[in-house]
Amino acid sequence: MYDYLIVGAGLFGSTFARLATDAGKKCLIIDKRDHIAGNCYTIKKHGIHEHVYGPHIFHCNDDLIWNFVNRFAKFNTFVNRPIAINNGKVFSLPFSMYTFNAMWGVITPEEAMKKIESQRLKLNREPLNLEEQALTLVGEDIYNCLIRDYTKKQWLKDPKELPASIIKRLPIRMSWDNNYFYDKYQGIPIGGYTAMFENILEGIEVKTKIDYFANQEYWNSIAKKIVFTGKIDEYYKFEHGELEYRSLRFETETMPYNNHQGNAVVNYNSLDIPWTRMIEHKYFDQSNANDNVTIVTKEIPDIWSRNKTPYYPIGDEKNTLIFKKYMSMAKSEINTIFGGRLAEYRYYDMHQVIQSAFNKFKENI
Ligand code: FAD
Ligand code: UDP
């Protein structure tokens, strides 16, 4: 008999399993994929760690979380400085003096602020959707060039139909600092995320290629508690309707030369290019990369349907209402703990998933 049967070897499941095992509990993790690490999974090709499910940059402010991940990996000093391309013109992200200079030729923060103020949407209420939020923050030029079409392409929805909260993630800086994240800590685990997960899971029993729903009764019978990190609507057999997610396709190519785009992340902000961004994996961790090849991945948004991989929860009104119904059912479960991006239906970054696992572990131990 296990204390915990954990469904999902992603970051939530693996963190929970580590905490429980360290507290003397017996855990078994199952995952329907043929590997551990969930969406953080990396594979090594030509000395390059390929981020199989999109670029993953670890960042956080919290010492406990940073110390936790550093138990299992040494992090490099990677800093995310993406660029954005529209119509052959290059802009720096996040929105900073570099962006304002490329857009308007302004040199000082005061000039940039004046320019934004002259075209900013002025509301005497909270912005109701992503478009209003963006126009309020940065005005028309930046919205039209760098936000509107990228957002349409990424979410396959009009920005007016998307929640304002999505864009609150995008930093705006009145300085020449183009570090995408504000956080105290940032980096990529040297040797790849998969190696970090192998260390997190050391001494813990893991079975891959197993779908919990194929034999739910059996799995429930071998553990005192279930930790579920899959889709919450699927857990409840979609009885309150289906939650919507955004799916993605990744097109990866190995190029027979050293350097393709000169940066880890390049966003493509116009609608004529089908991918939202292209990543060049060797820029995340250059420690052992081969000089004769480079690996790039295009990230292409994909319309959601039940059998596709759910990458991003869509936190709009309709889906939030459906999720609340599932959440109230989940609250009354005694033996099942729900956690992670899919079960909590939250647009979590990795550090937030770890924090959530810490919290759920404390509540349930
Ligand atoms: P997952 O990683 O999805 O793990 C859930 C696991 O459960 C999966 O392996 C799945 O196979 C398994 N599972 C589901 N259902 C079943 C079932 N029925 N039976 C068995 N197994 C099941 N975060 C950052 O901090 N920085 C970034 O730069 C960043 N970039 C990202 C880029 C992309 C393209 C995406 C999609 C996410 C990004 N994230 C980033 C977010 C990060 O991936 C997540 O926060 C984190 O991986 C979520 O962990 P999780 O354990 O909740 O979910
Ligand atoms: N965004 C944008 N232009 C960009 C990058 C981002 O308009 O060049 C918007 C878009 O709506 C996106 C949101 O900002 O959904 C958050 O982007 P981020 O890159 O932080 O999110 P990720 O896709 O990495 O989770």
In a domain, 62, yes or no: yes
Where would I find the beta strands (DSSP E) of 178-244?
Answer: 185-187, 205-208, 223-228
User: Would you state the pLDDT for residue 314?
Assistant: 87
In a domain, 340, yes or no: yes
Which one of 341, 344, 345, 358 would you pick to mutate in the ligand 1 pocket, going by the greatest count of ligand atoms within 8 A of its CB?
A: 341
In a domain, 120, yes or no: yes
| Cα radius of gyration rounded to whole Å, the chain | 21
- Note the ligand closest to the C-alpha atom of 341: 1
- Ligand 2 atom with the smallest distance to the CA of 166 is 13
Residues classed as catalytic: 169, 173, 246, 277, 299, 347, 349
Q: CA 240, CA 246: separation in Å to the nearest integer?
A: 19
Q: How far is the CA of 40 from the centre of ligand 2 (A)?
A: 18
In a domain, 254, yes or no: no
Q: Are residues 237 and 320 in the same domain?
A: yes
Q: Are residues 213 and 350 in the same domain?
A: yes
Q: Are residues 29 and 161 in the same domain?
A: no
DSSP run (H or E) holding 109: helix 109-119
Q: Are residues 225 and 323 in the same domain?
A: yes
- In this predicted structure, the answer to whether residue 355 has a pLDDT above a threshold of 80 is yes
Band (286; pLDDT cuts 50, 70, 90): confident
Q: How far is the CA of 229 from the centre of ligand 1 (A)?
A: 9
**pLDDT, average across residues 189-207:** 98
Whose CA is closest to atom 29 on ligand 1?
56
Domain with 146, as residue range(s), is 83-169
Distance of CA 352 to the CA centre of its chain: 10
User: Would you state the pLDDT for residue 145?
Assistant: 97
Whose CA is closest to atom 1 on ligand 2?
147
User: Would you state the pLDDT for residue 354?
Assistant: 98
Q: Which of 169, 202, 227 is the last residue of a domain?
A: 169
Q: Are residues 39 and 126 in the same domain?
A: no
Which tokens go with 29? 């993790």
Q: Are residues 69 and 104 in the same domain?
A: no
In a domain, 293, yes or no: no
Where would I find the beta strands (DSSP E) of the chain?
Answer: 2-7, 27-31, 42-45, 48-51, 58-60, 83-86, 89-92, 185-187, 205-208, 223-228, 245-255, 265-268, 277-280, 294-302, 312-313, 336-338
In a domain, 136, yes or no: yes
Segment 170-186, tens digit of pLDDT: 778 999 999 999 999 99
Whose CA is closest to atom 12 on ligand 1?
8
Q: Are residues 233 and 330 in the same domain?
A: yes
Q: Are residues 17 and 68 in the same domain?
A: yes
Q: Are residues 99 and 220 in the same domain?
A: no
Q: Are residues 92 and 160 in the same domain?
A: yes
User: Would you state the pLDDT for residue 365?
Assistant: 82
Segment 224-265, tens digit of pLDDT: 999 999 999 999 999 999 999 999 999 999 999 999 999 999
Q: How many domains does the chain have?
A: 2
Q: How far is the CA of 60 from the centre of ligand 1 (A)?
A: 17
Q: Which of 169, 195, 227 is the last residue of a domain?
A: 169
Q: Looking at 73-82, 162-171, 324-333, which range is the least confident one?
A: 162-171
Q: How far is the CA of 313 from the centre of ligand 1 (A)?
A: 11
Whose CA is closest to atom 22 on ligand 2?
169
**pLDDT, average across residues 154-159:** 91
In a domain, 13, yes or no: yes
Q: Are residues 75 and 89 in the same domain?
A: no
In a domain, 298, yes or no: no
Which one of 350, 355, 358, 359 would you pick to mutate in the ligand 1 pocket, going by the greatest count of ligand atoms within 8 A of its CB?
A: 350
Closest CA relative to residue 52, chosen from 229, 270, 284:
284
Q: Are residues 28 and 147 in the same domain?
A: no
Q: Which residues are bridge partners to 154 per DSSP?
A: none
Per cent of the chain over pLDDT 70 is 100
Segment 287-318, tens digit of pLDDT: 777 889 999 999 999 989 999 999 999 888 89
- Note the ligand closest to the C-alpha atom of 165: 2
The CATH number of the domain holding residue 26 is 3.40.50.720
Give the pTM: 0.95
- In this predicted structure, the answer to whether residue 169 has a pLDDT above a threshold of 80 is no
